[in-house]
Structure 1
Amino acid sequence: MRHFLPLCLLCLPLIGLAPRAAAHPHVWMELDMVLLTDKGSLTGFEITWTWDEVYSDPFRKTYDKNRNGTFEPAEAAELQNNEITSLAAFSEFVFVRVQGERVPVGTLKALTIGLKGDQMQFHFQVPLKKPIPLAGIGAGRTLTVGSYDPEYYIESTLPEDRPGVRFAAPPPGCTIKIIEDRKHPIYFGMVYPQVGAVTCAD
C-alpha cells in the first residue's frame, strides 16, 4: 500500500535518512495558505497543497476510475481510506512562530481531495489551539506562518501569479510579506523555507 509522502516523512528515521549529498527535493507542492481571523485575532488556516504532475500521476490513474478528470466523492473517499494513515500528521507541516517560537496548531479538519488538471490537490483547514491577537504584530512581536516539509524531500513553492499566503478578509492595517526564514533553516541548515511575515498596526 502506498502512503502519501508527507506522512511517510514522519517515519524516515526508521528507514534511514538520505545522505546530505542526495538530490533534494524529490516532490514539489504548490502552497496556497489563507489566514482566518476573528475579532482581530488569527484563528487558523485554510490550506491547499497542489502536487506536481509526476507525483500525482499514480494516484490520478488509480482513483479517477471513470477518467473524467476529477475525483468523485466515492473515489476521493477510497483514496483517503487507502492512502492516508494519519490526518493528525498534516499539522506537522504547518509552521506558526511568534517571536521565533513555534506555536502549536490543531488537527486537520474538512479535508477534500481533488484534481486540477493532472495535479492532485488537498484542501483542508487547520485551527490554532489558541487565537493570536494581531494588533501590533510586526512592531513589538513577530509572526510568521508557512507550510513546508522540514526534511525537504518535498519542496513547498509559492505561486508566481498570485499571493500564496494571504488573509481571507484582511484586518485593517495588516499586510503579509513573503520572506525566507533565515532563523529557522531546514535540511541540515542548507535551505531557508519561505514563510509569510505578518505586520499589523496597533
Structure 2
Amino acid sequence: MIKLKKSIPVIIFIFLIGFPAFSHPHMWFTSSLEVVFSRKAIKGAYITWTFDRFFSADVISGYDLNGDGIFSTKETADVYENAFSYTENFYYFTFIRQGEKRVTPEHIEKDSFSVWQNKGILSYRFFIDLSGFEGQEIFLACYDYTFFCDITYPENAAVKFIYDKTMVKPSYMIIENKNYPVYYDPLGAMDDNRIYYKWAPGLNTYYPKEVRIRFENAYEKKMDNYFFCR
C-alpha cells in the first residue's frame, strides 16, 4: 500500500501556490515517453507532460515574467521549485512496475527538468532513472486514480526509443492492467491518503493504463530470424 494524498491538495499546492488567481478545479495533460537504452540495457526515460490551455496560461503568466515566450534558466528553476517540485508529494504521478511490485521515482533532479511553451501550450520534461531494473520487460504508467487530473497518452506518439539498433530491439504496447489494479475509498476523508493494492468492502477499483516496454538482444533476434527463415 502506498500513501498518496488526494488530488484536491494537488490542485491547492500546484495551482494555488505560486499563482493564487488560479480557479479551475480540474486539469488535463498528456504524458509521453522517450525510453533511453545504453547498449543492451535500459537506462531511463524522459517523460513529457503537455498541459491544457488553462493551466498553461497560469504557469506562463506566473513565471515567464518578461513575456518573451521562452523560459530562461532562472524562470525554469522557479517553475521547478515552485510548481513542479510539489508533484514529488504525489509520486510525480509516475508508477513503475515489474511483476507485482510497484515503485515510484524517489526524486527528479533539477538538472533533468525543462519547461517550454508552444502557442500557449505548456510542457514539462524530466528524466527518471531506470538503470537499477533488471530483466527485459518493465511497465510504466502515469495516472491520478481519483480523476481530478485527467492524464492520457497521446495517440501515435506515446513512446519513442533512443537506442543502438545493433544492440537492442525494443517495442511497446499500452495495456489496461486488469491483473494488478489499485483500489481507493471514494468516501474517504480529505486526510485519507491511502491507495490500496488489496480489495476490501467499500473500495472502488481503478485499472491503470500501463506502457509495457519489452526489449531483446538484437543479435539474438537476428539469429532467431536467420534460423526461422532457413
TM-score (norm 2): 0.64
Report 1:57-136 matches (<5 A). Answer: 57-86=57-86, 88-89=88-89, 91-109=91-109, 110-128=112-130, 130-134=132-136
What secondary structure does 2:210 align onto?
A: strand
Report the CA distance between 1:182 and its aligned residue: 2.1
Report the CA distance between 1:81 and its aligned residue: 3.4
Report 1:131-142 matches (<5 A). Answer: 131-134=133-136, 137=137
What secondary structure does 1:130 align onto?
A: coil
Whole-angstrom CA distance in 1 between matches of 2:88 and 2:26: 23
What secondary structure does 1:67 align onto?
A: coil
Whole-angstrom CA distance in 1 between matches of 2:6 and 2:74: 31
RMSD of Structure 2 on Structure 1 (CA): 3.1
Alignment of 1:194 with 2:209, yes or no, is: yes
What's 2:195 paired with?
none
Q: Is the CA contact (8 Å cut-off) linking 1:30 and 1:156 kept in structure 2?
A: yes
What secondary structure does 1:133 align onto?
A: coil
Whole-angstrom CA distance in 1 between matches of 2:54 and 2:114: 20
Q: How many residues align?
A: 177
Higher-Rg structure is: 2
In 2 relative to 1, CA 196–81 (structure 1 residues): closer, same or farther, beyond 3 Å? closer
In 2 relative to 1, CA 187–59 (structure 1 residues): closer, same or farther, beyond 3 Å? farther
What's 1:12 paired with?
6
Report the CA distance between 1:47 and its aligned residue: 0.8
Whole-angstrom CA distance in 1 between matches of 2:214 and 2:85: 37
In 2 relative to 1, CA 64–129 (structure 1 residues): closer, same or farther, beyond 3 Å? same
What secondary structure does 1:121 align onto?
A: strand
Whole-angstrom CA distance in 2 between matches of 1:156 and 1:181: 16
In 2 relative to 1, CA 45–91 (structure 1 residues): closer, same or farther, beyond 3 Å? farther
Matching residue's letter, 2:130: L
Whole-angstrom CA distance in 2 between matches of 1:114 and 1:73: 11
Structure 1 gaps, min length 5: 1-8, 16-24, 138-142
What's 2:54 paired with?
54
Report the CA distance between 1:172 and its aligned residue: 3.2
Whole-angstrom CA distance in 1 between matches of 2:82 and 2:106: 23
In 2 relative to 1, CA 193–26 (structure 1 residues): closer, same or farther, beyond 3 Å? farther
Report the CA distance between 1:123 and its aligned residue: 0.8
Report the CA distance between 1:158 and its aligned residue: 1.3
Q: Is the CA contact (8 Å cut-off) linking 1:42 and 1:133 kept in structure 2?
A: no
Alignment of 1:174 with 2:170, yes or no, is: yes
What's 1:165 paired with?
159
More helix by share: 2
TM-score (norm 1): 0.71
Report the CA distance between 1:178 and its aligned residue: 1.2
